[in-house]
Amino acid sequence: AQSVSQHNHHVILSEAASLELGCNYSYGGTVNLFWYVQYPGQHLQLLLKYFSGDPLVKGIKGFEAEFIKSKFSFNLRKPSVQWSDTAEYFCAVKGNTGKLIFGQGTTLQVKP
């Protein structure tokens, strides 16, 4: 069965620190990859997506992610986090079933 694993469940950073959130998936075929963010009290929003082409994807609010096919990974990065980045982050993968499989989520807390 397809699965998605996010390595970090809870991350605490100070403002201006760099961020990398890990995401690995278990499906070997063609995939579509997504990162969603859920700010406190708000709905899930799409941060960025990868369908094909350049494996380095840039999203909103300075986030980017790199698709490394050989490692089945799609890690999310941001060079310098802000207090407003405090949120829960979800990696999601769509494989051959057409269904979106979500990771467990990572809670990011940024200290001002």
Partner 1 sequence: DGGITQSPKYLFRKEGQNVTLSCEQNLNHDAMYWYRQDPGQGLRLIYYSQIVNDFQKGDIAEGYSVSREKKESFPLTVTSAQKNPTAFYLCATKDRGNQPQHFGDGTRLSIL
Q: Which residues bind partner 1 (CB under 8 A)?
A: 4, 6, 9, 32, 34, 36, 42-46, 49, 51, 90, 92, 99-100, 102-105
Residue 15 C-beta: closest distance to partner 1, Å: 26
Nearer to partner 1, 12 or 46 (CB): 46
Nearer to partner 1, 11 or 17 (CB): 11
Residue 65 C-beta: closest distance to partner 1, Å: 14
Q: For residue 96, count other CB atoms closer than 10 A to its CB.
A: 11
